[in-house]
Structure 1
């Protein structure tokens, strides 16, 4: 464990262990670096593993200026942690907010990624819900400030795509909700305003995404409704993208179904390292139903 320093002088707490090809895990808005413990323990057996607390999440720095929070900074912070550890390239794995940061790292610094795993990423991407998402993000930020994290976590942790986790694993969900209540209210509010509410829709990034050839795995839960269509969009748009849909699963994928998530990720990483995760065969025409000549 230690602290990395970003280009704009923000200190980021990280945890690091294991040996082998590096994997860095990037957490979601409702989680923090502790959310990846099932993956850190599993993958440290044969990989160098890293997780870190995003800016705004203790014990990382919590800037009070909302302009210190942005989608670009979120992606660049991944690079800052890798630079601090002297890691040139890594498998980058992100959930939700971390999935967006992972995807943007692939756009901004593809040379740093061996692969990208983008899980549960889609909120705010659907054009028909874009304005609503921005408005509700601002309201969530206001409620973190008004009620405080401990109180508002009781509401936020019971969102429509979180109850699946509660139903399957009440103890695991309670740990998630308790940790959410420990988050700094200023950091949460500024993250929601500066990163979530301001990030571009995935659909507005269609051209650069269509040119990105980094091996990519997109993972969504089939009850995480606002990630399903964006996941299909990414699969259809990115040349070297695979899509996995986990049944009867919500948003908190890696904690809700840790064994299934770990198997998916392990197989993906193995295929990438074997050089077997290629771009889509050009003969697999999306417009074709059956071949007749």
Structure 2
């Protein structure tokens, strides 16, 4: 792991492997460590950069108002890719990371070789019940209790208890105030449904059949809006298929990336 200085903030990354680059971007409350089932495999043929977004993991945690707007997350990814000299990249983003990926692609399509948008949508339309329960728990309960709520909402299949606890530990390790700010600023007011019609980058949209956080309808809409996008729905999984069904996730995403590379 290493910290990359981007000026006002530093971004922590895992950087391993050689070949065409893959940038892995997590969702809210997680960090680059969550890609434990992807990094070693993907790095067999690619340079893999797993990012801790601002506010999470070992990256800087700014507190100024607006710090966690989607545009600021996108600015970080753009600056990071340019500083590392890894463009054009295969961008793989899940949930919040999928929102960020669309923002990056719209602003700097030259940096993107492909997009894999997982468990995401083109508008922040998280069900009101999910949002309300999370915010209430975040305000009134411990971060450990909040983490278990998030895992219960996000995971749809039985995972090994050790994996469940490991995921909860990552979420519980977040700074409560920073998390609340990121949840409020990063998951509201994003709507690029009209703009994504202009994307001409090879795009995979991956959804989970049982996703209650960002239901699969959101991904289906995104796939319909982006010209030529490929839609894949993984049966029986919730919001974190890369942990719930890592083999199917890996086969789908890596197969798509390798196909794009062969055609480039």
Q: Does 1:179 align with 2:170?
A: yes
Q: What's the offset of the Cα at 1:124?
A: 5.8
Tell me the equivalent position of 2:249: 261
Output the CA distance in 2 between the equivalents of 1:183 and 1:177.
10
Q: Does the aligned pair in 1 maintain the 2:22–2:89 contact within 8 Å?
A: yes
Output the CA distance in 2 between the equivalents of 1:223 and 1:32.
23
Q: Does 1:51 align with 2:50?
A: yes
Aligned-partner SS, 2:194: helix
Q: Does 1:89 align with 2:83?
A: no
Q: What's the offset of the Cα at 1:194?
A: 1.3
Q: What's the offset of the Cα at 1:146?
A: 4.3
Summarize the alignment of residues 207-286 of structure 1 with structure 2, pairs less than 5 Å apart.
207-225=194-212, 226-275=214-263
Structure 2 unaligned regions, length at least 5: none
TM-score by length of 2: 0.91
State the number of aligned residues. 263
Q: Does the aligned pair in 1 maintain the 2:124–2:188 contact within 8 Å?
A: no
Q: Deviations over 1:6-47 (max 9, x none)?
A: 36x011111101011000000011321111121111111110
Given the alignment, which residue of 149, 166, 190 partners 2:181? 190
Q: What's the offset of the Cα at 1:123?
A: 9.0
Aligned-partner SS, 1:206: coil
Q: What's the offset of the Cα at 1:220?
A: 0.6
Summarize the alignment of residues 1-293 of structure 1 with structure 2, pairs less than 5 Å apart.
1-6=1-6, 9-122=8-121, 125-126=124-125, 132=128, 137=131, 140-141=134-135, 143-159=137-153, 161-162=154-155, 164-165=156-157, 167-200=158-191, 205-225=192-212, 226-275=214-263
Output the CA distance in 1 between the equivalents of 2:176 and 2:124.
25
Output the CA distance in 2 between the equivalents of 1:116 and 1:147.
37
Q: What's the offset of the Cα at 1:158?
A: 1.3
Q: What's the offset of the Cα at 1:145?
A: 4.9
Q: Does the aligned pair in 1 maintain the 2:90–2:114 contact within 8 Å?
A: yes
TM-score by length of 1: 0.83
RMSD of the TM alignment (CA)? 2.1
Aligned-partner SS, 2:38: helix
Output the CA distance in 2 between the equivalents of 1:105 and 1:181.
29
Output the CA distance in 1 between the equivalents of 2:159 and 2:148.
18
Aligned-partner SS, 1:38: coil
Output the CA distance in 1 between the equivalents of 2:256 and 2:138.
37
Output the CA distance in 2 between the equivalents of 1:95 and 1:86.
23
Q: Does the aligned pair in 2 maintain the 1:140–1:192 contact within 8 Å?
A: no
Output the CA distance in 2 between the equivalents of 1:152 and 1:146.
9
Q: Which runs of 4+ in 1 moved over 6 A?
A: none
The higher radius of gyration belongs to: 1
Output the CA distance in 2 between the equivalents of 1:175 and 1:96.
19
- Residues 60/148 of structure 1: CA separation in 2 closer, same or farther (3 Å cut): farther
